[in-house]
């Protein structure tokens, strides 16, 4: 019987158990040479894997051991997330991996992670009290413990939005693992989740916004100009606190947005805005120009009064000693001003929504609102545009009723 002809080098493919196996000499990441094996049910399947492994071996070092999911996530966060994503996003990913993903799935071998494993884990996360799981109450001083550490579970289960974010981080990591050809499919992408209901943002009426600003100006609030920029130009909190003195040009009537101030992982960072879309040079309406002029005068007075204690920060909004304003302290000042002005308490981000809503009430085109708010996609603007204020809705329904009467 004539010998079966083989392709060049195919002698390393051989029968193995109920199928076939093959090996290729590769260089590991640590520089050592060793064999790496591939397996399959048929010779053809193994041959294809063998060819691909040959190509990988020629291209560079090849890992001979499939890592656990926990080991891979640690590598992914260190080598992929940290160098390429914004610091706040990096910190958020680290928290999700440390508190949710690695404790639940970290021991699984990466290439053996199944959709069923991820689905069961996600369901368990959604119904588990995180105060119990993370020992939140147990970390409090003994006299301040009030629930889980005392056997009274508070039922602090994560929201549907949190569960979606947890699954999203795992899906992103497995996408990169597929790019590195460590897995053949993304198990997290096939998991079913309950729908997330977005919180409907609140917004002030023009009368409430006016009363808020009048109260701040009458009391000579040092953050009055910051409030004006948020309500009139729709600036984000970090963008306002990150404004530098040279970003404001009162002579030209413009303000340049390109930096933000953030508290990330215990550090206060003055860094570029998250996306290029956020950068813009906006014209200053008279109320903004007047407020910024007052702020520059107040900053000069603070510097003269502080003397050698002045810190010399380039930021426009600072404490009386020239140090950056903590974002949380800004939130507290905002809430206190709401109370003094006698208006509904809304968040600083809802004040940005107020800017959009008031522009809607003035019949401003969505594309113009998108440009003012510097949204990356018009869909975000249309979501706001579709939520007209209650006064506008009431007026529209009144006119409809009169037409049908």
Burial bucket for residue 235 (CB in 10 Å: 0-12, 13-18, 19+): buried
Q: Which of 12, 45, 65 is the last residue of a domain?
A: 65
Which residue has tokens 């369901």?
A: 123
Q: Which of 136, 162, 190 is the last residue of a domain?
A: 190
CATH code, domain with 274? 1.10.443.10
Please give the backbone phi and psi of residue 193, each rounded to the nearest 5 degrees, phi first.
-130, 150
Q: Is the pLDDT at 382 greater than 60, yes or no? A: yes
74 and 50 share a domain?
A: no
Q: Are 185 and 117 in contact (CB under 8 A)?
A: no
What is the pLDDT at residue 2?
Answer: 44
Please give the backbone phi and psi of residue 188, each rounded to the nearest 5 degrees, phi first.
-70, -25
Q: What is the mean pLDDT of residues 98-107?
A: 94
Taking the model in full, what pTM does it have? 0.75
Query: Which two structure tokens, joined as six digits, stand for 231?
Result: 């309500």
What is the pLDDT at residue 173?
Answer: 95
59 and 172 share a domain?
A: no
- Please choose, from the candidates 312, 134, 295, 131, the residue with its C-alpha nearest in 3D space to the C-alpha of residue 226: 295
Q: What is the mean pLDDT of residues 18-34?
A: 83
Q: Are 160 and 197 in contact (CB under 8 A)?
A: yes
SS3 letters for 359-404?
A: HHHCCCCHHHHHHHHCCCCHHHHHHHHCCCCHHHHHHHHHHHHHHH
Q: Are 52 and 61 in contact (CB under 8 A)?
A: no
For the segment 211-243, what is each residue's pLDDT rounded down to a tens digit? 999 999 999 999 999 999 999 888 889 999 999
What is d(CA 66, CA 226) in angstroms, rounded to the nearest whole number? 53
For the segment 116-129, what is each residue's pLDDT rounded down to a tens digit? 999 999 999 999 99
Transcribe 282-345 into DSSP letters: EE--HHHHHHHHHHHHHHHHHHHHHGGG-----BSSB-TTSPBPPHHHHHHHHHHHHHHHT---
Q: Are 238 and 258 in contact (CB under 8 A)?
A: no
Domain range holding 158? 69-190
Total of domains in the chain: 3
261 and 372 share a domain?
A: yes
Task: Kindly report the length of the chain.
Answer: 405
What is the pLDDT at residue 102?
Answer: 95
CATH code, domain with 132? 1.10.150.130
For the segment 80-101, what is each residue's pLDDT rounded down to a tens digit? 999 999 899 999 999 999 999 9
342, part of any domain: yes
37 and 119 share a domain?
A: no
The listed range with the strongest mean pLDDT (24-38, 255-269, 323-337) is 323-337
Q: Is the pLDDT at 340 greater than 70, yes or no? A: yes
Of all residues in the chain, what percent carry a pLDDT higher than 70? 89
388, part of any domain: yes
What is the pLDDT at residue 384?
Answer: 61
393, part of any domain: yes
What is the pLDDT at residue 113?
Answer: 92
8, part of any domain: no
Query: Which two structure tokens, joined as six digits, stand for 186?
Result: 């993304």
What is d(CA 310, CA 319) in angstroms, rounded to the nearest whole number? 10
178 and 229 share a domain?
A: no
352 and 239 share a domain?
A: yes
242 and 370 share a domain?
A: yes
| Strand, helix or coil for residue 5 | coil
1, part of any domain: no
What is d(CA 257, CA 281) in angstroms, rounded to the nearest whole number? 6
Q: What is the mean pLDDT of residues 171-200?
A: 86
What is the pLDDT at residue 111?
Answer: 84
Per-residue pLDDT band at 11 (split at 50, 70, 90) = low
43 and 132 share a domain?
A: no
Q: Is the pLDDT at 36 greater than 90, yes or no? A: no
- 1 CB-near residues (< 8 Å, 6+ apart): none
Of all residues in the chain, what percent carry a pLDDT higher than 90? 45
What is the pLDDT at residue 56?
Answer: 81
- Please choose, from the candidates 326, 282, 322, 324, the residue with its C-alpha nearest in 3D space to the C-alpha of residue 298: 322
Burial bucket for residue 169 (CB in 10 Å: 0-12, 13-18, 19+): buried
234 and 146 share a domain?
A: no
60 and 75 share a domain?
A: no
- Does residue 63 or residue 202 have the better pLDDT? 202
- Please choose, from the candidates 239, 276, 260, the residue with its C-alpha nearest in 3D space to the C-alpha of residue 352: 239
- Cα torsion for 277, 279, 283, 285, to the nearest 10°? 90
Compute CA 311 distance to the chain's CA centroid, rounded to the nearest angstrom: 31
């Amino acid at each position: 019987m004539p010998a079966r002809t083989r392709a060049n080098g195919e002698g390393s493919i051989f029968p193995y158990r109920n199928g076939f196996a093959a090996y290729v000499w590769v260089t590991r990441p640590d520089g050592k040479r060793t064999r790496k094996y591939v397996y399959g049910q048929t010779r053809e399947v193994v041959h294809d894997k063998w060819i691909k492994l040959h190509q990988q071996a020629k291209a560079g070092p090849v890992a001979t051991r499939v890592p656990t999911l926990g080991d891979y996530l640690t590598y992914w966060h260190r080598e992929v997330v940290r160098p390429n994503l914004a610091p706040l996003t990096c910190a958020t990913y680290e928290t999700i991996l440390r508190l949710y993903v690695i404790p639940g799935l970290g021991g699984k071998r990466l290439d053996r992670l199944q959709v069923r494993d991820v689905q069961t884990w996600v369901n368990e996360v959604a119904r588990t009290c995180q105060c119990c799981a993370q020992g939140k109450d147990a970390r409090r001083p003994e006299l301040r413990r009030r629930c889980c550490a005392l056997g009274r579970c508070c039922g602090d289960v994560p929201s549907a939005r949190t569960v979606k974010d947890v699954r999203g981080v795992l899906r992103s990591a497995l996408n990169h693992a597929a790019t590195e050809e460590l897995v053949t499919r993304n198990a997290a992408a096939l998991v079913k989740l309950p729908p997330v209901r977005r919180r409907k943002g609140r917004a002030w009426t023009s009368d409430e916004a006016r009363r808020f600003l009048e109260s701040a100006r009458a009391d000579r609030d040092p953050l009055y100009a910051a409030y004006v920029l948020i309500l009139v130009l729709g600036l984000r909190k970090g963008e306002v606190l990150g404004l530098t003195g040279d970003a404001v040009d009162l002579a030209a009537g413009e303000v340049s947005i390109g930096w933000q101030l953030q508290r990330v992982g215990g550090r206060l960072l003055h860094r570029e805005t998250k996306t290029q879309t956020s950068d813009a040079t906006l014209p200053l309406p008279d109320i903004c120009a007047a407020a910024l002029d007052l702020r520059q005068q107040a900053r000069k007075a603070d510097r003269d009064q502080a003397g050698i204690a002045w810190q010399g920060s380039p930021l426009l909004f600072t404490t009386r000693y020239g140090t950056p304003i903590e974002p949380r302290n800004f939130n507290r000042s905002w809430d206190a001003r709401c109370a003094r002005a006698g208006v509904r308490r809304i968040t600083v981000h809802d004040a940005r929504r107020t800017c959009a809503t008031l522009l809607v009430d003035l019949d401003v085109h969505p594309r113009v609102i998108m440009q003012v708010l510097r949204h990356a996609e018009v869909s975000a603007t249309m979501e706001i545009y579709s939520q007209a204020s209650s006064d506008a809705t009431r007026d529209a329904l009144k006119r409809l009723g009169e037409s049908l009467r």
